[in-house]
Amino acid sequence: MMWNRIGPLIAATLMAAAPFAQAHEGEDHSGAGLAASAPASTTEPLYVSIETQLLARIETSPARRETVPRSLRVVGRTLVRSEREAIVTAPQEGRLIATKDYAIPALGERVKRDQIIAVVEESIAAPDLVTIATERARAASDLRQAEASLALAQREHDRLSKLAGIATDKDITAARNALEVAKARRDGFVEQVALLDSASTTGILAQKRRVIRAPLDGMIARTHVTVGENVGRDKPLFQIVDTAELLVEASVFENDVAAILAARRASFTVEAFPGEAFPARIVSRGATVDERTRALPVLFAVPNGQGRLFGGMFGRVYIETGTEVSGIAVPKSAVIDVDGQPMVYVKTGGERFTPRPARILERLSDRLVLADDGALKAGDRVVVQGIYQVRMSKPLPATAGGASAP
């Protein structure tokens, strides 16, 4: 009975809905019911109060129209030239010493070519005490004879000197030379006796010193020894590097090789000095492309007279390709990634900031060149500091929608 009453009602409802269903056949309605609940657009104006701008130190900078050389950007690593690097080794076994005239250079200290940087003292061991005593007795006997010869030479020299004008100059000169030889012989035996006396107590017969000099101008990059240390022959003592000019090793993919062949200028940047570019020039490139990476090795030379760069630093090489690109230039800090989309934030009112999408055409060391597609115009003031504070701000209230720029 109930079906008899509702059956016609259902049928009438279906018949009324049929034309509507046919009219929309084939359309995609997957998002039809979500439009009203979709999140606000990422380009919706944001509200940042004057107080917040002051506290967060939000700063803006004007965008500028600019034409710049198009460049290829690759990752590079600094190297020290092999001919400007030296490992200094010990020339003999011995003990490393320092004197009042020179000291061992410290790590990072700059040295000049031929500068004395170390002295190795080699001790010659003495023989047994019996031998020392025998040698000392012989040396003492020789010393007594030398003193007697010196006394005789002195008397002969004094006698001929008193006969000046009588004795010939030849005789006087011969007497003077004999006196000098006798003195030198006596002094030699005195030194020998003293050395043997010392050897009898220390066990060291003699000490031989070898001076070590820097082979090039440069900086002490590594030091392996300290004063008083005993070193073996050929032991590494110092590593000296000349970093006045560094090499930068980079790899360029084979698809970009044409840019290397047409390169006019290049520059090198590192994170340690943001916004600063060091001039670079190509010095060599490989003859073959690596089979695994499909890249060509390229070497650049970078002047480093102030010593601000060090070997082993990573950075980016910008290679000008000879073509140009025009667009809207902004500082690097003005562009952030929002869900995979580069964005800038433009101050469009006293407390109003508007997000705008950006398309990057060229990356420079300190700025980015964006497409001039109407989203951003020359003269727009973009946020360069405090950009994340602006991004996290709330949408502009409807009542403040007409806020104007100051």
Indicate the domain borders of the chain.
46-69+326-400, 72-80+243-323, 88-120+210-240, 129-202
Which listed CATH number (2.40.30.170, 2.10.25.10, 3.90.245.10, 3.90.1200.10) goes with 72-80+243-323? 2.40.30.170
CB 47 within 8 A of CB 397: yes
What tens-digit pLDDT sequence spans the chain (406 residues)?
Answer: 333 433 443 333 333 333 333 333 333 333 333 233 333 357 789 999 999 999 999 999 999 999 988 888 899 999 998 888 888 888 878 888 877 777 888 898 999 988 988 888 765 554 555 566 777 788 788 888 988 988 998 988 888 888 777 777 777 777 877 888 788 778 877 877 776 676 666 555 555 678 888 888 999 999 888 888 888 888 899 999 999 999 999 999 999 888 888 777 899 999 999 888 999 999 998 899 999 999 999 999 999 989 899 999 999 999 988 788 999 999 999 999 998 999 999 999 999 999 999 999 988 878 899 999 988 999 999 999 999 999 999 998 766 544 544 4
Least Cα distance to 224 among 216, 213, 209, 234 occurs for 234
Confidence (pLDDT) at 207:
57
As a whole number of angstroms, the distance between CA 235 and CA 247 comes to 28
CB 300 within 8 A of CB 280: yes
Confidence (pLDDT) at 25:
34
Under CATH, what is the fold of the domain 88-120+210-240? OB fold (Dihydrolipoamide Acetyltransferase, E2P) (2.40.50)
**Equal CATH topology for 88-120+210-240 and 129-202:** no
E strand spans, 115-199: 116-125
Q: b vs e for 184-194, b when ≥16 Cβ sit within 10 Å of the residue's Cβ?
A: ebbeebeebbe
Q: b vs e for 133-149, b when ≥16 Cβ sit within 10 Å of the residue's Cβ?
A: eebbeebeebbeebeeb
As a whole number of angstroms, the distance between CA 37 and CA 55 comes to 34
Take residue 311 and report the two structure tokens written for it.
């070997």
Q: What's the burial of 153, exposed, middle or buried (CB within 10 Å: 0-12/13-18/19+)?
A: buried
Architecture category of domain 46-69+326-400 in CATH: Beta Barrel (2.40)
- Return the residue matching tokens 């993919």: 253
Which listed CATH number (1.20.1070, 1.10.287, 1.10.10, 2.60.40) goes with 129-202? 1.10.287
Cα atoms in the 13 Å half-sphere on the side-chain side of 131: 7
Confidence (pLDDT) at 262:
79
Least Cα distance to 46 among 336, 342, 346, 377 occurs for 346
What's the pTM?
Answer: 0.55
Beta-carbon contacts of residue 369 (< 8 Å; ≥ 6 apart): 66, 68, 325, 326, 327, 328, 329, 360, 361, 362, 363
Confidence (pLDDT) at 77:
97
- The one-letter code for the residue type at 126 is A
As a whole number of angstroms, the distance between CA 110 and CA 96 comes to 20
Phi (first) and psi of residue 114, to 5 degrees? 75, 5
- Kind plus residue range of the DSSP H or E element containing 70: strand 64-80
- Kind plus residue range of the DSSP H or E element containing 284: strand 278-285
Judged by DSSP in three states, 167 sits in: strand
Q: b vs e for 107-127, b when ≥16 Cβ sit within 10 Å of the residue's Cβ?
A: eeeebeeeeebbbbebbeebe
DSSP at 223: E
Least Cα distance to 376 among 336, 339, 348 occurs for 348
